[in-house]
Amino acid sequence: MSRPPLAAGVSVKVGTADPATHCRTPFYLRGKRGVVVRALGCYPNPEALAYHKPGLPPVTLYQVEFDAAEVWGDRLREAPYRIMADIFEHWLEPALPDGRQGNTA
């Protein structure tokens, strides 16, 4: 079942899966909260393409912004350092302000 696209400004949490296969999501961002900046388009799933599969249906790639303190800890709270990453939709879930994942069903 597909879900509606995530809008710019939506708070998201990156999934915490640790697949034994190829994956395009940086390990240091897993479980971290960020904000969708924009959708970059739909592409074949690169995690399937790595195994010579067609990667269909296509998945949306999002540009997501993270506060560096969310990723690297409080030592970076003083300056507004930001991290930008392109993350495919199957790794993202809407997040509630307290960090819990929202119900996307």
Tokens of 38: 């924009």
pLDDT of residue 78: 65
Per-residue DSSP letter, 4: P
Single-letter amino acid, residue 32: K
Instruction: State the pLDDT at residue 52.
Output: 92
Contact 64, 85 (CB under 8 A): yes
User: In the CATH scheme, what architecture does the domain 11-94 have?
Assistant: Roll (2.30)
Q: What is the pLDDT of residues 58-81, one digit of tens each?
A: 999 999 999 988 888 877 666 678
Domain locations in the chain as residue ranges = 11-94
Nearest of 13, 16, 69, 19 to residue 36 by alpha carbon: 13
Low-confidence ranges of the chain (pLDDT < 70): 1-2, 76-79, 97-105
